[in-house]
Structure 1
Amino acid sequence: MAESIEEGALVFVADGEDGIGSVRRLLPDENALLVYIENAGDFVIPARGVRTVHSGKVVLDLDHLPPEVLEAIGNARRSEYPH
């Protein structure tokens, strides 16, 4: 990763997209992050689930995330765009 991850950093699925949450806590013993995802709560994201870190942003690697995290990401912005 280009820079270190800090608590409070915004989390994204891609550069140029809206943020989907933020880093709550670093979990060095688990080589993971605790991430709050909007409309879903807190999830443990393994370090391999992080594509890059830059400019205070954490960009996730969707290919390395568990199904429950992918589902939460899919619902993160739903309240802003009602059916």
Structure 2
Amino acid sequence: MQVGDQVYLKEGGTMFGAVRAVHAHGLQIYVENSGDFDVKAEAVAAVHDGKVLLNPEKLGPALRTAISHAHRAEEAR
């Protein structure tokens, strides 16, 4: 896992953000249209090929809401 990796909720899903920083106990991600969020390491389900997959059940409500709004501006077009 490294800065710049794309972040998803599931394999084959829509990318909603990118890794901003990696820390000993987790990472910071940027979510499109919402800003930066801290994610605990236990919420990371998998890492491969420049992708980070998160387990939505281990994410807080504010982050889940931000993810659901990540592409709202694009959908309005």
TM-score normalized by structure 2? 0.94
% identical equivalent positions: 36
Kindly report structure 1 stretches of 4+ aligned residues shifted beyond 4 Å. Answer: none
Q: Can you give the 5+ residue segments of structure 2 that lack an aligned partner in the other structure? A: none
TM-score normalized by structure 1? 0.88
Q: Secondary structure at the match of 2:20?
A: strand
How do 1:12-51 residues align onto structure 2 when only pairs under 5 Å count?
12-28=8-24, 31-51=25-45
Q: Secondary structure at the match of 2:39?
A: strand
RMSD of aligned alpha carbons: 1.1
CA distance in 2, matches of 1:40, 1:10: 16
Deviation, structure 1 residue 74: 0.5
Deviation, structure 1 residue 13: 1.0
Q: Can you give the 5+ residue segments of structure 1 that lack an aligned partner in the other structure? A: none
How many residues matched?
77
| Residue identity opposite 1:47 in structure 2 | A
